A and B are shown apart, each in its own frame.
Chain A
Amino acid sequence: MKYYPTIGIECHVQLCTKTKLFSEVDNDARGKEPNSCVSPVDYALPGMLPRLNKEAVRFCILAGKAMNCEINEFSRFDRKHYFYPDSPKGYQITQFYQPIIGPGYVELPSGIKVRINHAHLEGDAGKLTHFDTYSLVDLNRVDTPLIEIVSEPDIHSSKDAHDYCKELWRLMCYAGVTYGDLYNGNMRFDVNVSIAPEGSAELGTRAEVKNLNSFRSVERAVEYEISRQSKILDKGGRVIQETLGWNDATGVTTGQRSKEEAKDYRYMPEPDLPPIHLSFEFIKTEAAKLPLMPKDYREKFGGTIKEDILEILLDYPPLMLKLEQLEQSLLGHASARPVCLRQFASQGASVTGEPRSSSIVTSGRSQKALLLVANLFASVLLAEEKSAEYLNDLPTAAQLNDLAEMNEKKELSSTATKEVFLKMFDPQMKGKDAKTIAKELGVIQENDLGALEAIVDTVLAKPETQKAQEDFRNGEEKVIGFLVGQVMKESHGKANPSAVQEILRKKLSN
């Protein structure tokens, strides 16, 4: 029988706020000792009370707006109780009844719209590492702010599930609310999959695959579930509602617990935190700070950069940010919308700037430069083994602008351009301008016509070129290549070959 799958996805996004959701300690525990980013509040000493991080509330507004969601003027917190050492308070502070982010939708590149039911703000749990006879607890992650985005069951294939997760990731990264590091669990997906006979009006029983942390594993887990459930139904069996885990190595889901033994979380209003009241004005002001989203970039650069290259680059927010900065420096003024993805702010991004005078008019010069840099990003940088590392430390817009200019003036051949570009990531060369690097590499093309003529004359005077000259005059076109080569050799490769050819032709036609 043919079955129609229905998929809903819950996504946890760790917010990259400076401090934790309910305390003043550092929220960025990357590379820090276990249990070094823990306040007495996170540690749940007696008598400690949560304080609400306003930045997290602001991030909710940005995240909500990125998903075309309503922002609720009134929301509040609840306690979700369970005992486990990753939860020092014995409960998680979440928003069960009245979440901050209301309904909205995410549009996939294919045009499919997935509705968002709501998204709520909550604190993350700590991390346990299990050993043979003991377990270690690291509370650094406790009460890192999370938003949990709950979709409607609008997804009907593993590919759309993949695309939805990827688009969410892009939206959250571009909104500037998360580091978006999937490997380290900055975004985690729970996927609810059910199947029903095609044409059936009723949905089947769903199984939930928890804690997926890559788009690919989302896709594979959905595929696996569809096939697993299909086999059960084909045999006349019944799918049970249960929570499953995903093993990425074996590509199989395994049962964790069935709904019958599901925990009772004994939700209760959080009495220590007053409800959040957001004024219409505040929401409006904060929403206006939403940085450029993927669709804005498509609109902006679509005419300049080829679509397939642009889609690739959109997966790397720092690259888009750099292109945006480059465009700003080319146009000499800043964007009307903030382009600073705060999680990448270390790269010297500008924040909100002056209003743009003309909307999206990109001059010929800028277009060429943008195209060149975009192509360098896509074909050179991303092909590098260390590209992930390089992304965190991109050249400045000024360096890239100089590079593009040298290329346009034909001071650099396309090979030399790539070479100089790559050298910009070399710790020895870092921060040096394009010209300096090119000089050190000795790859600047000789464009001085006078100097070139002198070199050409030297070559033409050499006995070994006489025969070729004669052949050319007799109409043998292809020997021009040999002569150009000789000149290039004489110039130690610095001559601009097309200029050389022009001079040669002129001289030989005399």
Chain B
Amino acid sequence: MRIANKTITATRLVKDALDKAHEFKDYNIFTFLNEEGALKKAAEIDAKIAAGEKVGKLAGVPFAIKDNFLAPFGETTASAHILEGFNSPITATAVAKLLAEDAILIGRTNLDAFAHGSSTENSYFGPTLNSHDRERVAGGSSGGSAVAVALDIVEFATGTDTGGSIRQPASFNDVYGLKPTYGCISRYGVVAMASSTDCIGFFTKSLEDMDLLMSIASGKDSKDLTTLDDYYNNSEVAKAEKVGIIKDFDNDSVAPEIRAALKSKCELLKSKGYEIIELEMPALKYALAAYYIIVPAEITSNLSRYDGVRYGFRSDKSTGLNELYANTRDEGFMPENKRRIMIGNFVLSSGFYDAYFLKAAKVRTLIIKEYEEAFSKCDFLLTPVAPNPAFKLGEKANDPVAMYLEDMMSVSLNLAGVPGLAIPAGKTASGLPIGLQLVGPRRSDKDLIEFAKVLKEDK
């Protein structure tokens, strides 16, 4: 990362970032720009450097946060109407760690409201445009962050990945996107979508940056009991030999150009002496169904707190308590939010719990086992991120199931808690980015980043 090294000032970097943010305003990337704050912080850092004082590892580096990270910079909205006016007194652990290393927050980025979606079209503030084709979606839900990095406005951006929300927009915009092992980075202060699958991760332009950010942001947090011990910085990179390909994903539902990209990467690996093995993972075909039971159940629970009583938007049409709840939630949530709340309530209803939630939990266990088995046969898996490159705006907006199918190849990682790194893998004939994901066993995050370098050297 371009650490401020006196050849360029933090102020210059921040001004450039803000200029670009304005230049690309019509991409609808930001929900809030921290103009004054960023410039002030930049000046402070420049003064520190001039005075020879010690600065952080990310001194002067402009970055953006997905607008579901709590921080006292602008309103934290999660791109949802119902959080309108919510100024957080809390700073998310991940953001606090970045700020402590003197990174400079440029702004908050757009997302599907509450991260429910795969295109950023479900945002209360409207969709973000794809960095390579303005008629296409940015991907989602972390679309704003992916495009902010892809258009080189910021050096890196944070994202959250509950079922592919970092990897898919990364692959739609030709940048790196890492969904770490579940529990690697603290979820404290991040608007919860589905607690058991939510992961905090990053978008970067280089693997080195990804590694640096992981070394800073990962680790045990006493405020999040699901965080793992600080393994990332104690990981020793293991020597990889075998890479697995999942047969079940190699079919006509995946765009030919994406299958070709995967093949070409396999050839590259073979030429470098790696063995490619084909694996069958039959439980994965149930991943999407299990995901869309477990995740909506957790969503409906986690969204219960948005009731208009304590903070955020409150409908003023109501006279009684039940009306207050109904009107606030009706006006405050997007259609996709409501869809998931209804699915979640249905699968948790008394009498349906065993048939849906419990069964999905069993499928989840099968998927975990299947990944364990796969990693006993190979070091990593290489798969497409999504079946298609970025689709047109509005193309799937009225077909929720078609939209859910976009997540087919990404959600199983979240159910299993394993890490996945989306890597750029060329472009389609029409110039749309193609991404692949490198998947490893739990806690192999550093290995993934290291091994991705091998895949890069074909240009």
**In the complex the two chains form, what is the Cα distance from A89 to B304 in whole Å?**
6
Contact with B along A58-87 (1 / 0, CB 8 A): 000000000000000000000101010100
Known contacts A266-B349, A271-B195, A79 near B301 by CB under 8 Å: yes
Q: Which of the residues A46, A91, A265 comes within 8 Å of B83, measured between beta carbons?
A: A46
Interface-side segment among B10-18, B169-177, B307-315, B407-415: B307-315
**A137–B301 contact, CB under 8 A?**
no
On whether the beta carbons of A90 and B305 are closer than 8 Å, the reply is yes
Known: A46-B76, A90-B305, A267-B348. A40 touches B89 (CB 8 A): yes
Of residues 268 through 300 on chain A, the ones whose CB sits less than 8 Å from some CB of chain B are: 268, 271-274
Do the beta carbons of B348 and A266 come within 8 Å of each other?
yes
B90 in contact with A45 (CB, 8 Å): yes
Which A-chain residue is minimally distant from B77 (CB atoms)?
A46
For residue A47, CB closer than 8 A to chain B, the reply is yes
Pick from B68, B187, B353: contact of A267, CB under 8 Å: B353
CB of B350 within 8 A of CB of A272, answer no
Q: A493 at interface (Cβ–Cβ under 8 A)? A: no
Q: Nearest Cβ in chain A — how far from B451, in angstroms?
A: 30
Complex contact B223–A47 (CB within 8 A): no
Q: Is B192 part of the contact surface with A, judged by Cβ < 8 Å?
A: yes
How many chain A residues sit at the interface, stated as a range, is: 20 to 34
A50 neighbours in B (Cβ, 8 Å): 225
Contact of B305 among A89, A266, A268, A272 (CB under 8 A): A89
Query: A44-B310, A46-B191 are known contacts. Are A88 and B305 too (CB-CB below 8 A)?
Result: yes
Q: What is the distance, in angstroms, from B95's C-beta to the closest C-beta of chain A?
A: 11
A89: chain B residues at CB < 8 Å are 304-305
**B206 within 8 Å of A (CB atoms):** no
Contact-residue bracket for chain B? 35 or more
Question: Which single residue of chain B is at the shortest CB-CB distance from A50?
Answer: B225
**Cβ B309 vs Cβ A85 within 8 A:** yes
Contact B191 A83 (CB under 8 A): no
Q: Answer yes or no: B184 CB below 8 A from chain A CBs.
A: no
Chain A residues near B68: list those with CB within 8 A.
Answer: 46-47
Contacts of B188 in A (CB 8 A): 47-49
- Chain B CB count within 10 A is highest, among A43, A44, A50, for A44
Q: CA separation between A50 and B86, bound complex, in Å?
A: 21
Q: How far is the CA of A47 from the CA of B78 in the complex (A)?
A: 11
Cα-based distance from A264 to B344 in the complex (angstroms)? 13
The answer to whether the Cβ of A499 comes within 8 Å of any Cβ in the partner chain is: no
Which of B196, B226, B311, B325 sits near A45, CB closer than 8 Å?
B311
Residues of B within 8 A of A51 (CB): 222-223, 225
A-B pairs with lowest CB-CB distance, top 9: A90-B304, A271-B195, A266-B348, A271-B196, A44-B305, A46-B191, A47-B189, A47-B190, A264-B350
Residue ranges of A at the interface with B (Cβ–Cβ < 8 Å): 40, 43-52, 79, 81, 83, 85, 88-91, 137, 264-268, 271-274
Pairs across A and B, CB under 8 Å, 29 listed: A43-B310, A45-B70, A45-B88, A45-B311, A46-B192, A46-B306, A47-B92, A47-B187, A47-B190, A49-B223, A50-B225, A51-B223, A51-B225, A52-B225, A79-B301, A81-B348, A83-B304, A88-B309, A88-B310, A264-B349, A265-B350, A266-B301, A266-B345, A266-B350, A268-B357, A271-B194, A271-B298, A273-B225, A274-B226
